[in-house]
Amino acid sequence: MEEVIDELRELNEPVPVPLELPDEELLVEIEEQLLINIPFEFREFLLKVSDVVYGRLEPVTVTDPQSHTYLPEVASVAWSLGLPRELIPLCEDHGNYYCVELDGTVLLWDGDEEDLTDESWDSVWKWAREVWLQS
């Protein structure tokens, strides 16, 4: 996890208006909006690297309700498209969604097929290393 955080921090692209990192209190508010608990490693991800801008993929964020990556809005859209309600979107990618199960496993949901694929990662950190950092 620390290696992934360090690498993301190193590759973080400068932007005109940088994002802020959330605190625990904000994550509790987000959970209340979503009506679902955010798994531990996903919480850590949001707390430590949700301000990073890198590559073509844009993982969800929680500090700016006006952002197109704002988790409650992304979740609302994903769930309306058929993503199972017990999965939390991590990142939208051309109509497909990387999403997190309650046990922390990351799955890929195919928007065209409206079904989960066979692709999965044990944690958001493995997803970040194998997918986001490779994008």
Sequence spans of domains, the chain? 2-132
Both tokens assigned to 32 = 């209340």
The predicted structure's pLDDT at residue 42: 98
The predicted structure's pLDDT at residue 17: 87
- pTM (two decimals): 0.96
Angle formed by the axes of helices 24-34 and 40-49, to 10°?
A: 130
At 70, give phi and psi (nearest 5°): -65, 120
Which residue, among 18, 125, 104, 101, has the nearest Cα to 61 in the 3D structure? Answer: 18
Mean pLDDT by 10 residues, the chain (135 residues): 96 92 98 97 98 97 96 98 98 98 98 97 98 95
Topology adopted by domain 2-132 = SMI1/KNR4-like (3.40.1580)
